[in-house]
Amino acid sequence: MWIDGEEVESPSGEQMPVLDPATEEPVDSVPKGTRDDARRAIDAAEDAFERGKWSDPYDSRERGRILARFVELVRNQEDSLSVLLTREHGKVLSESVSEIRSLENTFEYYAGFGGKIFGSITYTRYGKDPLELKVARKPIGVCASIVPFNFPISLFAWKVAPALIAGNCVVVKPASTTPLTEIMMVRLLAKAGVPKGVINLVTGPGGTIGEELVTNRKVAKVAFTGSTETGKRILQLASNSIKKVTLELGGSDPAIVMGSADIESAASALFTGRFRNTGQACNAVKRVFVEKSVGEKLTARLSQLIAEVRLGPGLDRSSTMGPLNSAEQLRIVESMVEDAKARKAKVLAGGSRPVNIKKGFFYQPTLLTDVNDDARILNEECFGPALPVVEVEDLGEAIEKANMTRYGLGASIWTKDEGERRRAENETKAGMLFVNYRPFSTPEAPFGGVKDSGLGRELGFEGLNEYLETVSIRTYMG
């Protein structure tokens, strides 16, 4: 763990193993932190915020320089960091490289805000009295970053980069199965010049470390990414003290494919959108609604693309898809496909664990059609490589079915028709819409969902704002 500028063990002496999902063998172990460890990290962050120089408004450009130096350090170690990420997560090496690069992009973007966090001044009269109204934007204090397992490095960056450039101090809590690369990132932040106490990291179970971060009165903001169930619990717990909370939660993103679409490019985008990261992406394409006239053409092309997948360990450069991250994820995905099969879904590809791979949490990329409306895979979030394709009569039916779940993270539409595009913009209930393009994230665009998919936004200017307090100063000028 990393507390107050030092690498430390937990006084509990207990360790948690981190497994390689491709071999089920341990890669390493990390301390099983306790509530006391979390409190020590929070106290260190509070001390650095109150007494250190990091939050000094005059030093915002210096903060930017330090974050830019961190990006250079990461760039120089891309290869070893990517290997470590693949070993603890399972994703194939090329996906780890792009994830490390996405961290670089996010830090580079927010480093650019150094010296550019503006307030405003305006003048008015209150009755006859002249007044100056100043609006200042200030850091908020100790920020907790609770990170899930699926993109541990990208999502670390989405939280830590805006928090730091705004002048806050941070305590990170990685997911239990993927803490190792995040620990390396915290070391590199310190090496780049982030002062002691400003960045801290505590490993351990969500139920203890996470809950201490959420309930501790010294924590001013909780940024959580994870499942909707945990998000709901966090919102309840955080209400003990009033603090800012952003929640980036689950999704069951629909993709609508209309008859006018370019089916070849739609199929390849849906394939990447569903199967990258072995299906473990919040904004993955999780349900497809296709106009009947082009249904067969689309599923035929998707089947071809799936047939080309080479399932295997992420470190093996010939693999194009790795294992799921844990035995638990494997079990959940398998049970959802079995449920759809029991309800008479047709399996066009996959549909089971691979028979030729004996170890690791592997599941075959799976394509399902004729899926019953009540099947779990059309109603719950499927966090793995299985895609249900449902034929619909028209756009109206597609939108109705797309909006059917409790989630509202992203949605996408493939069409060449301007009217259909506009109707999807107006009627899909989601925080993000992708038009003729696969779901992706970029630092410039705010990311987040509506309904049970979350609260608040990460990335973009909106994401930075979540780490700033707006203060208004009203001065009598008579």
Residues that bind ligand NAD (CB under 6 A): 146-151, 155, 173, 175-176, 206-207, 210-211, 214, 225-227, 230, 233-234, 248-251, 282, 381, 383, 409, 447, 449, 453-454
Q: How far apart are CA 27 and CA 18, in angstroms?
A: 6
| Catalytic-role residue among 99, 108, 248, 380 | 248
**Phi (first) and psi of residue 137, to 5 degrees:** -120, 115
Q: Which is nearer to ligand NAD, 180 or 349 (CB)?
A: 180
456 and 235 Cβ atoms separated by less than 8 Å:
no
Q: How far is the CB of 214 from ligand NAD (least distance, A)?
A: 5
Q: How far apart are CA 266 and CA 387, in angstroms?
A: 14
Binning the chain into helix, strand and coil, the percentages to the nearest 5 are 40, 25, 35
Q: How far is the CB of 283 from ligand NAD (least distance, A)?
A: 7
Q: How far is the CB of 127 from ligand NAD (least distance, A)?
A: 48
Angle 253-258-260 (CA atoms, 0-180°, nearest 5)?
145
379 and 407 Cβ atoms separated by less than 8 Å:
no
Q: Which is nearer to ligand NAD, 248 or 466 (CB)?
A: 248
Q: How far is the CB of 256 from ligand NAD (least distance, A)?
A: 20
CA torsion sign for 301, 317, 385, 362 is positive
* 282 belongs to the catalytic site: yes
| Catalytic-role residue among 143, 169, 282, 382 | 282
**Phi (first) and psi of residue 458, to 5 degrees:** -115, 160
Q: Which is nearer to ligand NAD, 380 or 420 (CB)?
A: 380
Q: Which is nearer to ligand NAD, 130 or 207 (CB)?
A: 207
Q: Which is nearer to ligand NAD, 206 or 259 (CB)?
A: 206
Q: How far is the CB of 192 from ligand NAD (least distance, A)?
A: 24
Could you write out the DSSP letters of every residue in 202-255? --S-IIIIIHHHHH-TTEEEEEEES-HHHHHHHHHHHTTS--EEEEE-----EE
Q: How far apart are CA 230 and CA 345, in angstroms?
A: 31
Q: How far apart are CA 197 and CA 94, in angstroms?
A: 34
Closest CA to 287 of 413, 396, 395, 393: 413
What angle, rounded to 10 degrees, do the helices at 93-111 and 60-76 form?
Answer: 160
- Is 54 in a helix, a strand, or coil? coil
Could you write out the DSSP letters of every residue in 316-366? STT-SB---S-HHHHHHHHHHHHHHHHTT-EEEE--S--SS--SSS----E
Q: How far is the CB of 254 from ligand NAD (least distance, A)?
A: 14
User: Up-side HSE of residue 269: CA atoms within 13 Å toward CB?
Assistant: 20
Q: How far is the CB of 210 from ligand NAD (least distance, A)?
A: 2
Q: Which is nearer to ligand NAD, 151 or 414 (CB)?
A: 151
223 and 143 Cβ atoms separated by less than 8 Å:
yes
Q: Which is nearer to ligand NAD, 10 or 150 (CB)?
A: 150
410 and 432 Cβ atoms separated by less than 8 Å:
yes
Q: How far is the CB of 234 from ligand NAD (least distance, A)?
A: 6
Helix (H) or strand (E) holding 157: helix 152-165
Q: Which is nearer to ligand NAD, 133 or 450 (CB)?
A: 450
* 462 belongs to the catalytic site: no
User: Which sequence positions are flagged as catalytic?
Assistant: 248, 282
